[in-house]
Structure 1
Amino acid sequence: MLFERPMVFVDLETTGANAESDRITEIGIVEIDGDTIHEWSTLVNPGVTIPKFIQNLTGISDEMVANAPSFEAVAQETLKRLTGRLFVAHNARFDYGFLRNEFKRLGIKFSATALCTVKLSRKLFPQHHKHNLDAVIQRHNLPIDSRHRALADVKALMFFMRHLNDSLPLESVTEAINSIIQRPALPAHLDPAVLDDLPESCGVYMFYGTNDQLLYINKSSNIRKSIYSFFSKGIRHSNEAALAQQLQQIAHIETVSELGALLTETRLMKEHQHLHTTRTAKRNDLCTWQMEESDNGTLIPKLKYSRDLDFGGIKNLYGLFPNGKVATKALRSLADAHLLCHNLLGLETQPMGKPCKAFHSKNCLGACIGVEPIASHNARLKAALFKSQVQAWPFNGLIGVKEIAPLGARIDIHLIENWCYLGTIANINELDMQSIKHCKASFDIDVYKALSKQIGSGKLDIVYLDKITAN
């Protein structure tokens, strides 16, 4: 029977979606010990105004919580009901995160093993697409009187677990639960509590050693999953073993999207280049072909490196390559595919008027010896390079790429100019032009790849800041 283990079903109503800045307005708890069930709920005065759309969603108004106890007043009662039980909630990281933050503000350390019924539903019923509480209630015909009130929602979770207990093999349900609540084996010197606050959202995570020495940086679409995976897969390389031995602390930075995670990682990489010397070296070798016109009008590709040239502000650049060797190989392949003259492209150094080797092998139409007009060769070269042209920065100057998290829990405005990432702010009032002007950011291929296609698609919320920077 599933309920042999003490469980506590939890649902909260809150003023918003951010566990750090928003507050709890209602707590609903159902405790189960075998056949014994205890229900408890209370409104909570959050100490802040409840947004109107949250009031409309939950039915909890400012007037209703005006005379309700604060969380501090119900903290000990809440803690008593949670302690020593499997913490069960729908989207458990939300409820668990809010309670941990509320307890933390009071100097109370709270930790529990959490079971998310969203994940449980996905594991047991993978054929279904929707696993929100409304979908679960409807799919399994769970008895419920109302929605978006804490005790009513938490009862629905209890009924869901009863349904699983009655309708599915116990072994299947138990296996699914254990796979969800299983925690990775951490190094013995690391406090397991470091895993409790990890979000299941985009961002960047960092590993620190003694004296706050930064050891490792990585971006992720799911911070919690990535860190769990790091420790669950086992140590496979000597450098991972050394990292695990030195690790003393784990930190993370949440972002609205994977774009924000990439940009944040880019910033941190540049600030801590000693951690990624190989990647830094590769960035310094980044190169492209720039078309230059000779005295007789011949277009000649010249290899340019990002360390010497700002790729973002120039229009006649073609291809982005990790080093000169790769760039030359790509140009040679292009020439062979389009019967272009190797000599005019600088791939050979035959004397003027002499045919290139490609002409002898019938891979050149003879521009090197005047058989093909230079204008024709130029036109074919441009056509061959067209798809690989590096997109020049399409704005007059600085822009912001605005991202808003669900329910407005977070706003990020990423500052970009000439494919250079300059930082992230929460609102325009934070824009510090003096700092921007002195920023030494340079063209970043990762930023370019992430944004170049999206900018023309209309999918990004662009904030035009060039007028602000001109003032």
Structure 2
Amino acid sequence: MYAILDIETTGGQFNEEGITEIAIYKYDGHEIVDQFISLVNPEIPIQPFVVKLTGINNAMLQSAPKFFEVAKRIIEMTNDAVLVAHNAEFDYRILRTEFRRLGYDFNVKTLCTVELSKKLLPEQPSHSLGKLVRALGIPMADRHRASGDALATVKLFKLLLDKDVNKEIVKELIKFEIQKGISPKLMDIVESLPSKTGIYYIHREDGTIIFIGKSRNIKKRVNQHFTGITKSAKKIQNEVFTVTYEETGSELISILKESQEIKINRPIYNRMSPKSNFSWAIYAEKDAEGYLNLNLQKADGRKKEIKSYTSLQEGKDALLRISSQYQLCQKLTGLFQTKTHCFQHTISECDGACVGKINAEAYNERVQNFIDKNIFENKTLAILDRGRSITERSVIFVENGIYKGYAFYELNYQITTIAILRNIIIPMPNNRDTRHHIQSYIRKSKGIKIMHF
């Protein structure tokens, strides 16, 4: 659990400042579960430059509660949680100072989104809250007021959690929970999981990830691990301490994310999983008469493949469907070996490209339609899909034919340029596996939108 907060103060001498406003959002890593926002009477005057900056003046605070009146609520909001703030050192110092005046030793674990953003967003020229959220397209209201800044920090932290593919933030939280004595049972773990699409991470007690999986129903899939009788399931049951998860909304993102994060984190019980091996691919070549032929061959990294498959039979089955869908000649796709016309022409299902009855230009247009829909070469596009909530969308970004990564954004985010899209993207490797997954998803899925740039 995280307590994400922002504090506005009176300004003044070091350790003599008073709190004028505080906002705390309790965040479980997925959504806000509680919040506390209040003006505070600091019992000392506000510095004039602070009044100008925040709009909070002395008159506004006369009837506000004093710190001792909100102290109990602050402890409730931050107890058993990691305190998160943009420049956490400042907010934590102010809180400790106020509690010290009450004779209470306020001591919590902290995370600073300035430091996290420097590590996870090193390309950003500025890590101030205002400039950072603007660069990421995050809308911000009530700048320099506690509630506005804290809510912007929540959205920034959410994006930083997505960017943290090594899961260092989550691992640290698990260590913190262990210190607090929280040790959930298997049934409790399953009950805490959502029945939604996403990635799940099975951890040992020291936070180490021992298994990563994906599912359209996380709760159901993890329950299968915990009730399974195979050797690997028994090992997981004996070693699991907790399960963390990330909803993706988009099934494609869960597929791409699982593949990459297994390579990064190398969980011991994923090593038994079979690896994808796309050893067959379709290529296009012109024959002596100028007709574009589709050829299913052993994958050759030196050639520009259109689609790839794990087996020869899978490739042949796909080529049959492609020939039917695009009205292509089975002789020119290599499915029917003959020196004359193909069998489909005999039964009037081929219009005669195999014997020159239609010209190469007309036939090649149909082949090119297939190629254009199944190859990213030199294309820049964004695949828009479902997000993790009804107010969110996901995006998979391909630039100049290269898969760059994915991102989530709220519907009110200002994603107006490719530059902003590049800033919010969680980088991912571009390889044959990712291209295959993306192309297959586009072909099979309904309800997705593709934006071309």
Q: TM-score, normalised by structure 1?
A: 0.44
Which of 1 and 2 has greater Rg? 1
